[in-house]
């Protein structure tokens, strides 16, 4: 019989997956009630904070260490999941069905209800074994990570409640790995969502007007696509680089125009840009402005999102938490691969207040299905992840 059949931890995980904490318009109340039940079962205190108002709870379950005065450890996860297209799923996306191979199908199976429950499962096992830890652990469940964490972690880190936690190190989500390695994320690129609003000569579509919005868009688009191609070539020519090491630029929408025979006075183009760690933000912004001037002027740059440069977490001997994490993974015999995260997680907010943070989801030999249809996690992979955390959590907590 497979190890996952009638397993208590698998049933707890599936119960959490069945809560449809899905965008848009999430009601987090069932998540909070579920987590209160978990805290009672663990015999641990739980606090629910509302830094962004009553509908955006932040849940903190605390295991007090032997030396509570020391900087604490955060084990972070988010309660929300991205939207689903049920007709594209083999099983109902909030059914947490498990097939003969032990694959658990549900939105959030990989991103990232698994990690939140693996933290609690590992703590349950450690407490049962009578283990005591040096530092205090705060297991945190936040809202709204999938829509940028604006009313989740971003607000929480500025609150007095967060400051009182005295955080010294944080673990958060990573991504599944299709091969044997485990990616470990120590930094993130800065996300810029940039709107270029072009103003130019309007008129009849049969004439050749000067300084039209089309000409200006063409110039700026060419410059950005040349830069994009440079990054494509850099990535392809150096096998040591991953997508997180280069700047990505993608045109995501063009808006404007009135009808097919009228040259419009304005046009807007929107780009998703992720700035690599080696990009100097001031220089990059000056370059964007210069291209707009060269295009003929009359181009306004509006930043929908413009994240500051956040220092990477040090992965060397200066960071005792990293050394403890690395030693634990070595002793577990697992291969880790330090990388820059290609997207955005709540770790960027934690790093921004000077707290070292590592992104790690213990899922290897697993197809990457976050935000995809038929998202699943193999039950045995889930259970193995709990074993990893039983080693990693004490290691970083006793650092």
Q: What is the number of helices (H) and of strands (E) in the chain?
A: 10, 17
Q: Which of 111, 144, 145, 173 is catalytic?
A: 145
Question: Partners of 197 in the beta sheet?
Answer: 268, 300
Q: Are 24 and 42 in contact (CB under 8 A)?
A: no
Tokens encoding 272: 């998703």
Q: Which of 9, 80, 146, 346 is catalytic?
A: 80
Handedness of CA 64, 67, 69, 71 (dihedral sign): negative
For the question of residue 80 being annotated catalytic, the response is yes
Residue 104 and residue 18: Cα distance in Å, rounded?
Answer: 11
Beta strands in the chain (DSSP E): 46-49, 58-63, 72-78, 97-98, 103-105, 137-142, 167-172, 182-188, 190-199, 203-204, 248-256, 262-263, 266-275, 299-306, 336-341, 357-359, 376-378
- Residue corresponding to tokens 């300084």: 211
47 in catalytic set: no
Angle at 131 between CA 112 and CA 134, to 5 degrees: 85
Looking only at the bridges linking them, the beta strands covering 336-341 and 182-188 are parallel
Residues with active-site annotation: 80, 145
């Amino acid at each position: 019989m497979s190890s996952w059949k009638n397993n208590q931890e698998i049933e707890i995980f599936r119960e959490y997956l069945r809560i449809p904490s899905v965008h848009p318009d999430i009601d987090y109340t069932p998540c909070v009630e579920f987590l209160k039940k978990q805290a009672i079962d663990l015999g641990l205190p739980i606090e629910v904070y509302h830094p962004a108002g009553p509908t955006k709870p932040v849940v903190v379950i605390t295991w007090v260490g032997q030396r509570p005065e020391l900087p604490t450890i955060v084990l972070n996860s988010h309660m929300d999941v991205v939207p689903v297209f049920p007709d594209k799923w083999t099983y109902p996306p909030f059914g947490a069905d498990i097939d003969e191979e032990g694959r658990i199908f549900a939105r959030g199976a990989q991103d990232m209800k698994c990690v939140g429950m693996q933290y609690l499962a590992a703590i349950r096992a450690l407490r049962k074994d009578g283990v005591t830890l040096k530092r205090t652990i705060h297991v945190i469940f936040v809202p709204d990570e999938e829509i940028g964490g604006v009313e989740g972690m971003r607000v929480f880190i500025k609150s007095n409640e967060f400051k009182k936690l005295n955080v010294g190190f944080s673990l958060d989500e990573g991504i599944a790995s299709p091969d044997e390695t485990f990616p470990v994320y120590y930094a993130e690129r800065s996300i810029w969502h940039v709107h270029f609003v072009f103003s130019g000569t309007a008129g009849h579509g049969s004439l050749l007007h000067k300084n039209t919005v089309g000409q200006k868009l063409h110039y700026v688009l060419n410059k950005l696509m040349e830069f994009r191609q440079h990054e494509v070539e850099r990535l392809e020519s150096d096998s040591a680089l991953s997508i997180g090491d280069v700047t990505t630029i993608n045109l995501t929408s063009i808006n404007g125009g009135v009808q097919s025979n009228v040259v419009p006075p304005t046009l807007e183009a929107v780009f998703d840009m992720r700035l690599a760690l080696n990009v100097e933000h001031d220089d990059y912004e000056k370059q964007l402005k210069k291209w707009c001037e060269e295009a003929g002027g009359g181009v306004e740059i509006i930043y929908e999102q413009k994240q500051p440069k956040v220092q990477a977490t040090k992965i060397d001997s200066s960071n005792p938490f990293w050394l403890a994490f690395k030693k634990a993974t070595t002793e577990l015999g697992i291969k880790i691969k330090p990388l820059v995260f290609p997207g955005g997680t709540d770790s960027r907010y934690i790093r921004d207040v000077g707290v070292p943070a590592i992104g790690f989801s213990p899922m290897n030999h697993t197809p990457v299905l976050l935000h995809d249809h038929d998202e699943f996690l193999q039950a045995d992979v889930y259970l193995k992840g709990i074993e990893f955390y039983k080693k990693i959590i004490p290691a970083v907590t006793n650092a």
